[in-house]
Amino acid sequence: MSATLAPPAARSARPAKPQATYSPQTLRFGALELPTRWLLSPLAGFTNLEFRKIARDLGGVGLGTTDLVNARGLLEGSKKSLELIETGPGDSPFAVQLFGNDAHLMSEAAKLVEGRGVDSIDINMGCPVDRVCKTGAGSKLMQDTSRTTDLVTAVVNAVEVPVTVKMRLGWDDKQLTAPDFARRFEDCGVTAVMIHGRTRAQGFSGTISLPGIAAVCDAVSSIPVIGNGDVRSVEDADRMLKETGCDGVSVGRGALANPWIFRQLVQWETTGSYDPPGSFADRMELLKRQFGDLCDRHGEERAVPRFRKMAHWYLKAMRVRAELRGVVQQAKDRAEFDAALQRVWDEGPIGQLTRTGLLPDMQVPVPKGPVERW
Ligand SMILES: Cc1cc2nc3c(=O)[nH]c(=O)nc-3n(C[C@H](O)[C@H](O)[C@H](O)COP(=O)(O)O)c2cc1C
């Protein structure tokens, strides 16, 4: 069974990239052509290499980005930062997101990641977390026009690869600085802007402002604007495109609940209809693959605790009984984890649902985001 929704009218003519089955609209970040206009948003702790590969293999992802990476940490050789920028075959096009408030350190970090072959560099101006804002980085950058413009200019001048900025609407509803910044960033050579339709003061609460995103689209002359926030379905993306005039859409939490969403978006824009997301059995396969890949990269001991948060999402979406989900969460090593998964498989989803049939619409609760420590 497939759902139908009329495809969007093209905002501007763009060269179509030939593909075996579909020809989605592409997007340009300067010299970099993205295969689709549907981007995976960075979600610290989730959108790691293993998850990016899963989403990409399912199809439709135009760009995958790392979690926010501390520019200073990277330059000091922090193991955590270096791990975050690891990539591998199939993880392309690939962006590293840097955060910091020092123009020199940010430029040096940008050069370092460029030297490792990254396709584009994103500057974080959206992180609302106190620990980051207190250092003058993340959303805090949106309160200092001249210093921030200087920082962005320095990064753009330091590297050849495209530089983008991901920001919020502003610090709070009295300081909606995003349109002004977007215009300035375009002037200093930024190749695209991603805009999460909330202010820093909102954290992840309330709803996104589509007019706020539209104001950013209106402010720039030619660079693409990527709308972001609360997109969990093709219908949400359609609304975002229509009501804001944005050029592409970036999906974060919606992709954890439904990693098929990018493929659905491409199917929809090219055919007008799209397949449902995967079944219990499909999700079990992805879960096992992601966990296996994580074990290969980090070793079992580190992979088991690291995978808990992600396993929670998979199992909720698979409609696994709460008590059994708890058993998976308590697994201390790979053997216990595998045994718990076997129980999950044997029992299957709750109620009348089957392992291979359609699961009901996602009931995965939307996390409240880092501000509220979900
Ligand atoms: C757990 C979590 C971690 C996040 N980490 C980052 C990050 O590292 N960098 C960033 O720019 N945004 C980060 N975000 C914000 C998302 O990229 C996105 O802008 C926001 O969640 C709204 O989009 P969504 O509703 O599609 O998730 C994070 C959000 C959450 C919930």
Per-residue H/E/C for the chain: CCEECCCCCCCCCCCCCCCCCCCCCCEEECCEEECCCEEECCCCCCCCHHHHHHHHHHCCCCEEEEEEEEHHHHHCCCHHHHHHCCCCCCCCCEEEEEECCCHHHHHHHHHHHHHCCCCEEEEEECCCCHHHHCCCCHHHHHHCHHHHHHHHHHHHHHCCCCEEEEEECCCCCCCCCHHHHHHHHHHCCCCEEEEECCCCCCCCCCCCCHHHHHHHHHHCCCCCEEEECCCCCHHHHHHHHHHHCCCEEEECHHHHHCCCHHHHHHHHHHHCEECCCCCHHHHHHHHHHHHHHHHHHHCHHHHHHHHHHHHHHHHHHCCCCHHHHHHHHHCCCHHHHHHHHHHHHHHCCCCCCCCCCCCCCCCCCCCCCHHHCC
Atom of ligand 1 minimally distant from the CA of 198: 22
Examine residue 93 and state whether it is found in any structural domain, yes or no. Answer: yes
Nearest alpha carbon, ligand 1 atom 29: 43
The residue-averaged pLDDT of 197-213 equals: 94
Are both 49 and 175 inside the same structural domain? yes
Ligand 1 centroid–CA 175 distance in Å is 21
Are both 223 and 285 inside the same structural domain? no
More confident residue, 204 or 117: 117
Are both 192 and 340 inside the same structural domain? no
More confident residue, 223 or 3: 223
What's 192's domain CATH number? Answer: 3.20.20.70
Res 22: pLDDT:
76
Atom of ligand 1 minimally distant from the CA of 67: 8
Residue 340 has pLDDT above 50, yes or no: yes
First to last CA, the chain: 35
Residue 217 has pLDDT above 80, yes or no: yes
In whole angstroms, give the CA distance from residue 303 to residue 152: 36
Nearest alpha carbon, ligand 1 atom 12: 42
Res 17: pLDDT:
34
More confident residue, 26 or 360: 26
The residue-averaged pLDDT of 148-157 equals: 98
CB 42 within 8 A of CB 65: yes
- The fraction of the chain above a pLDDT of 90, given in percent, is 87
Domain that holds residue 84: 23-274
Residue 13 has pLDDT above 50, yes or no: no
pLDDT, one tens digit per residue, over 267-317 is 999 999 999 999 999 999 999 999 999 999 999 999 999 999 999 989 999
Ligand 1 centroid–CA 228 distance in Å is 9
Ligand 1 centroid–CA 51 distance in Å is 15
Atom of ligand 1 minimally distant from the CA of 68: 8
Are both 176 and 37 inside the same structural domain? yes
Res 7: pLDDT:
57
Residue 78 has pLDDT above 80, yes or no: yes
Ligand 1 centroid–CA 211 distance in Å is 20
Examine residue 2 and state whether it is found in any structural domain, yes or no. Answer: no
The residue-averaged pLDDT of 219-238 equals: 97
Within 6 A (CB) of ligand 1 lie: 41-45, 67-68, 97, 124, 126-127, 166, 196, 228-231, 251-254, 367, 369-370
Residue 5 has pLDDT above 80, yes or no: no
Q: How many domains does the chain have?
A: 2
Res 180: pLDDT:
98
Residue 20 has pLDDT above 70, yes or no: no
Are both 306 and 263 inside the same structural domain? no
CB 234 within 8 A of CB 268: yes
Examine residue 374 and state whether it is found in any structural domain, yes or no. Answer: no
- The fraction of the chain above a pLDDT of 70, given in percent, is 91
Q: What is the 3-state secondary structure (H, E, C) of 310-326?
A: HHHHHHHHCCCCHHHHH
Are both 308 and 260 inside the same structural domain? no
Mean pLDDT over each residue of the chain, to the nearest integer: 92
Residue that has been written with the tokens 């689209």 in this structure: 217
Least confident window among 18-27, 57-66, 222-231: 18-27
pLDDT, one tens digit per residue, over 121-131 is 999 999 999 99
The residue-averaged pLDDT of 66-77 equals: 97
Predicted TM-score of the model (pTM):
0.93
Atom of ligand 1 minimally distant from the CA of 126: 11
Are both 270 and 292 inside the same structural domain? no
Ligand 1 centroid–CA 252 distance in Å is 6
CB 209 within 8 A of CB 172: no
More confident residue, 14 or 178: 178
Banded pLDDT at 1 (limits 50, 70, 90) = low
- Hey, which of 38, 39, 40, 41 would you mutate to test ligand 1's pocket, going by the most ligand atoms within 8 Å of its Cβ? 41
Res 360: pLDDT:
82
Ligand 1 centroid–CA 334 distance in Å is 29
- Hey, which of 39, 40, 43 would you mutate to test ligand 1's pocket, going by the most ligand atoms within 8 Å of its Cβ? 43
Res 11: pLDDT:
35
Examine residue 17 and state whether it is found in any structural domain, yes or no. Answer: no
Residue 82 has pLDDT above 70, yes or no: yes
Which residues belong to the active site?
127
In whole angstroms, give the CA distance from residue 279 to residue 356: 5
Residue 12 has pLDDT above 50, yes or no: no
Are both 325 and 224 inside the same structural domain? no
Res 117: pLDDT:
96
Among residues 274, 298, 324, which one ends one of the domains?
274
Are both 255 and 153 inside the same structural domain? yes
